[in-house]
Structure 1
Amino acid sequence: MKTLAKLPVTIVTGFLGSGKTTLLRHMLDNAQGRRIAVIVNEFGELGIDGEILKQCSIGCTEEEATGRVYELANGCLCCTVQEEFFPVMRELVARRGDLDHILIETSGLALPKPLVQAFQWPEIRNACTVDAVITVVDSPAVAAGTFAAYPDQVDAQRKLDPNLDHESPLHELFADQLASADLVVLNKADLIDAEGLAKVRAEVAEELPPAVKVIEASSGKLPLEVLLGVGAESEAHIDGRRTHHDSHHDGDDHDDHDHDAFDSISID
């Protein structure tokens, strides 16, 4: 019997308004026949749903496109991934012979590290690998010192979910997104001048692990070969990526990741 290769998974993370959804849609529009499944933790500023996928060149019929979008809404993807994320991954693992790639867009407040750690579970690890964690940075917001394009909306989002971290300042959450990154996209680079961009690069460099590539983009438009096929195998080294969240919970009696994952699941 033919042994199936591991299915590559790309995780896209970043604050609300950074351009995650724009980047994801660009990837789907330029999929070049790849059979891609999408897991969306929140719709973001543009929204990804079956209707958008039907407009994207993902090499499948309208009916097939509808079955490839997994919406896991109204929550932040963190600790309890086994309750809702795991069942979706089990379904995709069972279908991996019909897929070429999985894209995951996290919520703006999700910590990437616990999600990547979920790929260490034997049932997932034997079938999938994290090709890359892509952190999308809102360059003008970082240059301005706000880190998110809509900090008030981010704070409001945090207050809606009692399980979210309400204490850590945005710059710590931003640093944690960078700490898990295999590729950083400085989005909206065309909206700031050279001095501002240099400031953003310096800010990002302070938090990045060694050898992580940083690239500039406008409206999330980058060649697909830059975004897919990174081959990072992030799950193999994620435990060594220290974050502020780890530090806050050192010595606590509970799990290092006390955030809830998805609150509900709707599979079309």
Structure 2
Amino acid sequence: MNGSKIPATVITGFLGAGKTTLIRHMLANAKGKRIALIINEFGDLGVDGDVLKGCGDEVCSEDDIVELTNGCICCTVADDFIPTMEKLLARANRPDHIVIETSGLALPQPLVAAFNWPGIKTQVTVDGVITVVDSAAVAAGRFADDHDKLDAQRLADEGLDHDSPLEELFEDQLMAADLIILNKTDLISAADLTGVRDGILAHLTRRPVFIEARQGEVAPEVLLGLGIGTEDDIANRKSHHELHHADGHEHDHDEFESFVVNLGPVSDVAAFTEGLKALIVSHDILRLKGFADIAGKPMRMVVQAVGARIDTHFDRPWAAGEARGTRLVVIGLHDIEEAAIRETLTGLAG
């Protein structure tokens, strides 16, 4: 039965784990497979969608990319995700495979359950849920369940404790996984990587497959074609919310805030990058991403930051007639000092 259905892969993972990089590599090596992308961007600016549209490959044409920017996909299944799926399935040129990149804040379980929706279940099956893990961040204890490390985090950030939604969310994404990508392995030692793997296994009752990766480089034939049919196994992947909050109340993400900062051209790339690092540390920014207009350069610069680690690269030339500018999405906890961050970013652009 599943052989007649379109396979769909759900790619989840915490902020900055490398989901977009993984998908870009997948598209660049798709070998003619027509892949439709549904991207759930957290924030008001579709950064990831624009990055993917810049790949220039026939398998990621603009018609095959849909962005859901109305909030966490697990909270808008009926209003947002289901209509998007129905629209994709109504197309004459239906995709060979559907890939869904969730927001870093999404619970995978409600999304997978949505594939049992009438009209969806008969046409699409969940090929598998892939959770991308920032191995370096986990090795550093940022999302570990070790109480000593959590106590250290509490000293650094009063918004986090052992019951932090961040911790629960990370575990929920692991619990839903059929395949776990331990990404950024080049940033940690073999011993630390073993510790990351053992720490993850200690929280799981199921035994998903692990794959080690650096810079999201995993062959598409490994990621696609798992044939799991995850929607039929959703009862074995309950989230913390389902286990501990079975009172009918919807979960929310009020502990997070995001905002977009629009700036002019950046005059000094090195100073701008160093300034971003200092800003992220001083305001405990969880994630910063976007594009920068570098004065005198014909190409736009992509900015991706997780903690104090910042990656920048030029992805494509500015298009003829395209308005140049610097646009950054800032994601942090609810008490983030937006005004101060905006002021500092404005100064950094110069």
Question: If the TM-score is normalised by the length of the shorter chain, which range does it land in?
Answer: 0.7 to 0.9
| d(CA) in 1 for partners of 2:49, 2:199 | 34
Which runs of no fewer than 5 residues in structure 1 stay unpaired?
Answer: 159-166, 261-268
What displacement does 1:54 show? Answer: 5.2
Q: Sequence identity, in percent? A: 52
Contact 1:21–1:46, Cα closer than 8 Å, also in 2: no
Q: Is the 8 A contact 2:42 2:71 kept in 1?
A: no
Structure 2 match to 1:164 = none
Residue 224 of structure 1: aligned partner:
220
Determine if contact 2:19/2:132 at 8 Å carries over to the other structure.
yes
Matches within 5 A, 1:215-254: 215-250=211-246, 252=247, 254=248
Q: Would you say 1:104 and 2:103 are equivalent positions?
A: no
Q: What is aligned with 1:13?
A: 12
Residues 155-234 of structure 1 mapped to structure 2, 5 A cutoff = 168-234=164-230
Contact 1:30 1:57 in 2 (8 A): no
> How much has 1:75 moved relative to structure 2?
1.4
SS in 1 for 2:119: helix
Pick the aligned partner of 1:258 from 246, 251, 258.
Answer: 251
Structure 1 pair 121–74 and aligned structure 2 pair: CA distance change class (3 A): closer
Paired letter, 1:189: T
For 1:66, which of 62, 69, 72 is the aligned residue? 62
| Alpha-carbon distance change, 93 to 219 in structure 1, aligned in 2, over 3 angstroms | same
CA distance in 1, matches of 2:92, 2:12: 23
Q: CA deviation at 1:12?
A: 0.6
The AA in structure 2 aligned to 1:104 is I
Tell me the SS of whatever aligns to 2:73. Answer: coil
Given the superposition, is the C-alpha separation of residues 94 and 121 from structure 1 closer, same or farther in structure 2, using an over 3 Å criterion? same
Q: 1:54 to 1:143 in 2, by over 3 A?
A: closer
Q: 1:54 to 1:17 in 2, by over 3 A?
A: closer
SS at match of 1:186: strand
CA distance in 2, matches of 1:172, 1:141: 16
- Whichever residue aligns with residue 122 of structure 2, its letter is N
Q: How has the CA–CA distance of structure 1 residues 219 and 46 changed in structure 2, closer, same or farther, with 3 Å as cutoff? A: farther
Aligned-residue offset at 1:50 = 5.4
Cα offset, 1:116, TM superposition: 0.2
Asked if 1:132 is matched to 2:125, the reply is: no
- The partner residue of 1:75 within 52, 66, 71 is 71
Q: CA deviation at 1:221?
A: 0.2
Aligned-pair CA distance for 1:103: 0.8
What is the deviation of 1:35? Answer: 0.8
Amino acid at match of 2:11: V
| Residues 74-93 of structure 1 mapped to structure 2, 5 A cutoff | 74-93=70-89
**Cα deviation code 1:62-115 (max 9, x no counterpart):** xxx111111111511113311111110001111275310111111111000000
User: How far apart, CA to CA, are the structure 2 residues paired with 1:233 and 1:209?
Assistant: 19
Q: Is the 8 A contact 1:42 1:73 kept in 2?
A: yes
In structure 1, how many angstroms separate the alpha carbons of the residues matched to 2:51 and 2:174?
31
- Residue in 2 that maps onto 1:53: 53
Query: Offset of 1:258 from its aligned partner?
Result: 3.5
Q: Deviations over 1:1-52 (max 9, x none)?
A: xxx9201101111111110111111111111101111111017999433574
Structure showing greater radius of gyration is 2
Q: 1:53 to 1:247 in 2, by over 3 A?
A: same
Structure 2 unaligned segments of length 5 or more: list them. 145-152, 254-350
- Higher relative contact order by CA 8 Å / sep ≥ 6: 1 or 2? 1
Q: Secondary structure of the residue that 2:201 maps to in structure 1?
A: helix
Displacement, 1:172? 1.5
TM-score, normalised with respect to structure 2? 0.62
Distance (Å, rounded) in 1 between the aligned partners of 2:15 and 2:127: 23
Aligned counterpart in structure 2 of residue 122 of structure 1, from 115, 118, 123: 118
For residues 51 and 14 of structure 1, the distance between their equivalents in structure 2, rounded to whole angstroms, comes to 18
- 2: CA distance, partners of 1:201 / 1:182: 15
Distance 1:145 1:51 in 2: 29
Tell me what 1:264 maps to. Answer: none
C-alpha distance in structure 2 between counterparts of 1:96 and 1:212, whole Å: 36
Which amino acid is the alignment partner of residue 88 of structure 2? L
